[in-house]
Amino acid sequence: MDACNPCTTTKAESSANVLVVDDEKAICEVIGEALEREGHRVRRTETGAGALAEWQREQFDLVILDIRLPDMSGIEVLRQLRLRSAGAMVPVIIITGHASLASAVEALQMGAIDYLQKPLSMASLAIRAEKALEPTRLRRQNRWVAKQLLSGGLPQGLIGASSAMKRVHEQLAVLARTDTNCVLLTGETGTGKSLVAQLLHRLSARAKGPFVSVNCAAIPDDLFEAEMFGYRQGAFTGADNAHEGCFQQAQGGTLLLDAVGELPLLVQPKLLYAIETKRVRRLGAKQEVAVDARLVAASNRRLSPAEDPGFRSDLFYRLSALTLHLPPLRERREDILPLARHFTERFAGQFDKQLAGLAPQTEALLLGHPWFGNVRELANVVERAVLFEDTSQLTPRHLLLAPAGIAEAPRRACALPWQVSRDQLEGAMTEALGNKTRAAQLLGMSRPTLRKRLRECGWIDDLQQQQAPVRPAMPS
């Protein structure tokens, strides 16, 4: 069993306490044995008084109750159970003969959730019992999720007790117990979107299935459809073997589309079709294939039609039905020091260092930094500092913090890629010494988006400049 996942449980771990009440001992035994084979713990009694006594001694998750008992009616037992349970609605399944259907209806009106007629079918009983116990299992899973989210048994980027992170934890617990088609994760680079996607998978009913992660910004436009939906052998030149697309690879599990805002426009309607129909067609194939994967999309930029004309509105509305926003680290400053201590302890163990914690000057510097790279930047800064630290505390000597103004100005100036001006592009490329990856980070966009914007503005690389001495002027 996966110790960190409440969904991958053994029979013993998912067992319930069941009370069986029937005046016929043989029926009690048969029902009890059938439930015990399913891994449940069963108490048996043949009287109403015995049922009430067992109820006082132990807490039960399900009661299977015969209407006709020797000392009192099952209706009266049900009434007493309700009075003694202080409002807790423990599920009760009524057993009845043909002559007592009216009593069964009365029992349902009093709160019993189901009834079975004699002679009993053990297969039907097992199905009804599992259905009745499902809410109990969900409550247990929710408690487990809440405990994990509020304790510390979380991925490093999700540690935090700030009000902003508590809201994330609460929403994450709700999303983990649902199995909707799509979840959209939003937040700046480095806030932990991929970690949240993995945690959603681990805590969901799909945890036993595969988790497939796709970086949309890293796939060339002309290969995207083949990677996403797959292709048949011979579908195009070089397709020597059939290839399963990402949707099929994630069958029964979770598919993460990271940087979903980089999806080519021509692929977006096909993705929408796959989401809505749960079917895909491989390149070169005549028939569609059914797929069953939960889609988690992540983006570090706003995708709404008003803010990103390059992203289809119908796809945006489909993806954003359930959205979880991860706040930047600068908006949850009370989490900076707990995270820094966590990273210090982690990297000290990794590098075999003995560090007692953070020096006061280090704490002040960490709290004052804007952290535009968010948790990822904090982890990288602490890792380097721990590696070079030679005292008993993490001191400021080795904290390599970028001056706030360098990263802040471009990010504030160009929140939307198509609004980047000539001066901002040239400024970022100059500051990054021509390194497109660094320039993209300064501008708060992906490298492919930066390259596209540079081409639109007529930018020519140094190699091209050698071949063509005159560079086209960049439009404003």
Cα-based distances in Å from 141 to 3, 187, 201, 357 = 13, 27, 14, 35
Residue 110's domain comprises 17-141
Indicate whether 307 and 334 sit together in one domain. Answer: no
Long-range contacts at 166-171 (CB < 8 A, ≥ 24 apart): 168/196, 168/324, 168/325, 168/326, 168/327, 171/324
Classify residue 411: in a domain, yes or no: yes
Nearest CA-CA partner of 107 in 71, 68, 61, 53: 68
Residue ending a domain, choose from 401, 420, 450: 401
Q: Provide φ and ψ at 230, rounded to 5°.
A: 85, 175
Indicate whether 204 and 314 sit together in one domain. Answer: yes
Which tokens sit at 256? 């993460």
| Tally of domains in the chain | 4
Q: Provide φ and ψ at 366, rounded to 5°.
A: -65, -40
Indicate whether 392 and 314 sit together in one domain. Answer: no
Indicate whether 284 and 343 sit together in one domain. Answer: no
Classify residue 11: in a domain, yes or no: no
Classify residue 293: in a domain, yes or no: yes
Indicate whether 159 and 258 sit together in one domain. Answer: yes
> Helix, strand, or coil here: 68?
coil
Beta-carbon contacts of residue 220 (< 8 Å; ≥ 6 apart)? none
Indicate whether 102 and 175 sit together in one domain. Answer: no
Cis peptide bond prior to 472, omega within 30° of 0: no
Long-range contacts at 126-133 (CB < 8 A, ≥ 24 apart): 126/34, 126/35, 126/38, 128/93, 129/18, 129/35, 129/38, 129/40, 129/62, 129/64, 129/93, 130/38, 132/62, 132/91, 132/93, 133/16, 133/61, 133/62, 133/91
The pairing of strands 254-258 and 243-244 is: unpaired
* DSSP code for 154: S
Indicate whether 127 and 38 sit together in one domain. Answer: yes
Indicate whether 200 and 303 sit together in one domain. Answer: yes
- For the chain, how long is the longest CA-to-CA vector? 104
Which tokens sit at 429? 């490329």
Indicate whether 178 and 317 sit together in one domain. Answer: yes
pTM given for the model: 0.59
Classify residue 295: in a domain, yes or no: yes
Instruction: Give the CATH number, domain containing residue 442.
Output: 1.10.10
Residues 294, 206 contacting (CB under 8 angstroms): yes
Return per-residue pLDDT of the chain as tens, 476 residues: 333 333 333 344 457 899 999 999 999 999 999 998 888 899 999 999 999 999 988 888 899 999 889 999 888 998 888 887 765 568 899 888 755 667 777 878 777 888 888 888 888 888 888 888 877 765 665 555 555 555 545 555 567 778 888 888 888 888 887 888 899 999 998 998 998 999 889 888 898 899 999 999 888 888 888 889 988 888 777 777 888 899 999 999 999 999 999 888 889 999 999 999 999 999 888 899 999 999 999 998 888 877 777 889 999 999 998 999 999 999 999 999 989 998 998 899 999 988 888 999 999 999 999 998 899 999 999 999 999 998 889 999 888 886 554 444 444 334 455 556 667 787 788 777 788 877 887 777 777 778 777 877 777 554 344 333 344 444 44
Classify residue 4: in a domain, yes or no: no
